[in-house]
Structure 1
Amino acid sequence: MKISVITVCFNAAEHIDETLRSVVMQDHGPVEHIVIDGGSTDGTQERIGRYREVIAHIVSEPDKGVYDAMNKGLQLATGEVIAFVNAGDMIAHRSCLSEMAAEFAKGDADAIYGDAYMVDPKDIRTVKRFWKGGVYKREAFRSGWMPPHLGTYIRKEVYDRFGHFRDDLRVSADYELMFRFMYKHRIRVRYVPNVLVRFRLGGVSNRSLAHVWRANVEVYKAWGMNGESVSPLIVLAKPLRKLAQYFRAR
């Protein structure tokens, strides 16, 4: 089973090697690694170039943001299953892709997610939050739940059928996509109790209080965009879930 791994980056020279190595070290084959760079000027492109022989596609050009870059990767992907591991983040261990291929081979899921370690931006070994995906319950979306996007593997046919990331959402297009696939279209979803990714805190939805607030407002808007209704209190429920993740990491 071919798995496409998409990495998006911009001016990430400090950490891009860790990310690329975590893909190269996988014991699964074939892997189609796609790297979408937003036109970096800090040496990121040169570092990516060192891995050119093992990267299927390298695109380096300006984009309209992280979700536009992710969509570029999706347009290039040809694997049966697609995963994202962005600059500065790492696939958790070298057997992740082979284990996920075996899970998909069972034929009972369109998307499979696991758990995630959210780590210190300066030291990927220091776990700050533990994001436990938990057994899938569709109605959990109503209380602000979503699976870890970077710990979720989805069949390409799902993207082909139900679309890519919305670029009119600035910070929560990943939530909207998961919600659209899982809640609205009721794809088959399964949880595996394994840590699949380590990603650094400080992503697009967590950079400041303003970003956090905007992210939660966009979560609420995502329901209306998909013809569904939910209590406005969801904008408070999601931050409370994040707070609980800090206690799990202790």
Structure 2
Amino acid sequence: MRERPRISIVTPCYQAEHSIRETVASVLEQTAILSGRAELEYLIRDGGSTDRTVPIIESFGSKRITIISEPDRGMYDALAKGLRQATGDIVAYLNAGDYYHKCAFDIVLDIFRNKQVKWLTGYQTLYNASSQVVGFRIPFRYRRRLFARGLYGPRLGFVQQESTFWAKELLDAVDFDSLRRFRNSGDFYLWHQFAQKADLHIVAAYLGGFKVHPDSLTQKGAQEAGGAPAANNIKEIRELAQRPGLPDYLVCAFDRLVGALPLRVKKSLNPDQLFVWDKDREEWV
């Protein structure tokens, strides 16, 4: 990673005039960017909105934003185009309506630089329509074998994309033409591919979150809010994954049990892939 790392954020959007402002502000107002610790590349792929989405983005007047507004074939088509453009050392994507905590990039940089991590996620956080935090949980662990078996979602919790960051090199495992064909589970496709190259680490910190609102409670929103995954999501995941066996289901049962226990227990059982803040040493351990 270069001395002053570049962070690339991709936001795919369409007709998002009521939600885009908060999302863009949360990216531009990161403490790591304002302090000069990191450089920001913010790629917004708009699907040809006819409302005020583009003017609202342009009103920020930021040279850090690159916005391209043109018709696309859906969110994952727009995302694939944006990820293909990304040049940062660290990459993530954030949908319109969702937003980051202002210190998220600083935490991510601390972990990536000091812990040799390539893939990181944080607290799974939910906001209500008024942008109030209404729920959060810290995952126990993520296993590469269970990604290959497609068990994150149907059996275990989904990885919260709004809190997840990765090293750009992991995108080498992604076929962007395959990604753009997904309709519901493109994020799982990314995780499935990344898991072939790296472990997903966890930091016990609030990085970002998903906003629950009526329009979101159809597919992904229902999953993030703790509901059952939609049938279309399960179908796409099963088409991609290997068939799980009894040992995989037993591991799932164990991980679900530990997932309900206190953080100190999770850390003791996953010491190398779960980072917590040590207040005495004043560092992530």
Structure 1 residue ranges without an equivalent (≥5): 246-250
Q: Secondary structure at the match of 1:194?
A: coil
CA distance in structure 2 between the aligned counterparts of 1:43 and 1:106, rounded to whole angstroms: 42
For 1:74, the equivalent position in structure 2 comes to: 83
CA distance in structure 1 between the aligned counterparts of 2:167 and 2:220, rounded to whole angstroms: 28
Mapped contact 1:205–1:215 kept (Cα < 8 A)? yes
Post-superposition offset of 1:195: 1.7
User: Is the deviation greater in 78-87 or in 161-170?
Assistant: 161-170
User: Is the deviation greater in 19-28 or in 155-164?
Assistant: 155-164
Mapped contact 1:171–1:204 kept (Cα < 8 A)? no
Post-superposition offset of 1:94: 1.3
Structure index of larger Rg: 2
List aligned pairs for 1:21-40, cutoff 5 A: 21-28=25-32, 29-40=38-49
List aligned pairs for 1:9-158, cutoff 5 A: 9-28=13-32, 29-91=38-100, 93-120=101-128, 122-127=129-134, 129-141=135-147, 142=151, 143-158=155-170
Give 2:57's aligned amino acid.
Answer: I
Give 2:52's aligned amino acid.
Answer: G
Give 1:130's aligned amino acid.
Answer: F
For 1:197, the equivalent position in structure 2 comes to: 208
For 1:248, the equivalent position in structure 2 comes to: none
CA distance in structure 2 between the aligned counterparts of 1:216 and 1:131, rounded to whole angstroms: 23
Mapped contact 1:15–1:87 kept (Cα < 8 A)? yes
CA distance in structure 1 between the aligned counterparts of 2:205 and 2:234, rounded to whole angstroms: 27
Post-superposition offset of 1:140: 4.6
For 2:8, the equivalent position in structure 1 comes to: 4
TM-score, with normalisation over the residues of structure 2? 0.72
Q: Secondary structure at the match of 2:31?
A: coil
Distance 1:191 1:206, change over 3 A: closer
TM-score, with normalisation over the residues of structure 1? 0.81
Distance 1:110 1:124, change over 3 A: same
Mapped contact 1:204–1:211 kept (Cα < 8 A)? no
Distance 1:191 1:43, change over 3 A: same
Q: Secondary structure at the match of 1:123?
A: coil
Distance 1:203 1:61, change over 3 A: farther
Distance 1:107 1:193, change over 3 A: closer
Match 2:183 to one of 154, 167, 170: 170
CA distance in structure 1 between the aligned counterparts of 2:63 and 2:138, rounded to whole angstroms: 32
Backbone CA RMSD of aligned residues: 2.8
Post-superposition offset of 1:146: 3.6
Post-superposition offset of 1:64: 0.6
Post-superposition offset of 1:211: 8.0
For 1:229, the equivalent position in structure 2 comes to: 243
How many matched pairs? 229
Are residues 1:188 and 2:199 paired? Answer: yes
